[in-house]
Amino acid sequence: MTRKIIIGVMGPGDSATEIDIKNAYELGKLIAQQDWILLTGGRNVGVMDAANKGAKEAGGLTIGILPSNHTKNVSDAVDIAILTDLGNARNNINVLSSDIIVACGIGLGTVSEIALALKNRKPVILLSESPESQQLFKSFAPNLTFIAVDIQQTMKQIKEILEIVN
């Protein structure tokens, strides 16, 4: 069995904040340093782009699950572009294919991904989410929803979850 551990980093595209971008970049780097594969929505904006750039900086392997049928908007830091042509329906693939999902910032697409992840019984770490969304998701899946205050705690939680799962 050669299957590799995949960490999905989800978050806003155009509406990402500076903090989201910074977190995503650092997270990508730390994920790559653990030899885990980074999976994102693959586009060349926001959290996706920053996480991929961080991972490549550290020599990691990056997968992008694109909504389109072409490579025009793919992040330059994506190694493997999966072209789904599914629009937002590809969000379900993002979460199914990840062992753990980190929500790094929040947008409507991210909300759909967190909900789909929890519905599929995947652990989700909420990094710098709003109190409303923390409460909402905790109420649905208390054992699968983790709250992290910074990337150090996020990495600690990923390791703990992987130990339980594997």
Sign of CA pseudo-dihedral 161, 32, 19, 40: negative
Number of amino acids touching its own copies (CB under 8 A) = 51
Where does this chain touch its own copies (CB under 8 A) — which range of 23-31, 43-51, 106-114, 153-161?
A: 106-114
CB of 75 to its own copies, least distance (A): 9
C-alpha 128/C-alpha 120 separation (Å) is 22
Residues 6 or more apart whose CB falls under 8 angstroms from that of 116 comprise 91, 92, 95
The answer to whether 57 contacts its own copies (rule: CB under 8 A) is: no
The answer to whether 56 contacts its own copies (rule: CB under 8 A) is: yes
| Residue for token pair 């190694």 | 79
Q: What is the DSSP string of 70-109?
A: SSTTB-TT-SEEEE---GGGGHHHHHHT-SEEEEES--HH
C-alpha 46/C-alpha 118 separation (Å) is 23
CB of 156 to its own copies, least distance (A): 25
Please report the beta strands in 22-89, taking only residues with DSSP state E, as ranges in sequence order: 37-40, 62-66, 80-83
The answer to whether 48 contacts its own copies (rule: CB under 8 A) is: no
Report the residue from 27, 109, 127, 155 that binds its own copies according to the rule CB under 8 A: 109
Where does this chain touch its own copies (CB under 8 A) — which range of 19-27, 43-51, 102-110, 155-163?
A: 102-110
Report the residue from 63, 104, 125, 151 that binds its own copies according to the rule CB under 8 A: 63
Binding site for its own copies (CB under 8 A): 1-4, 6, 37, 56, 62-63, 65, 69, 71, 74, 76-93, 96-97, 107-109, 111-112, 115-116, 118-120, 130, 132-133, 135-136, 139-141
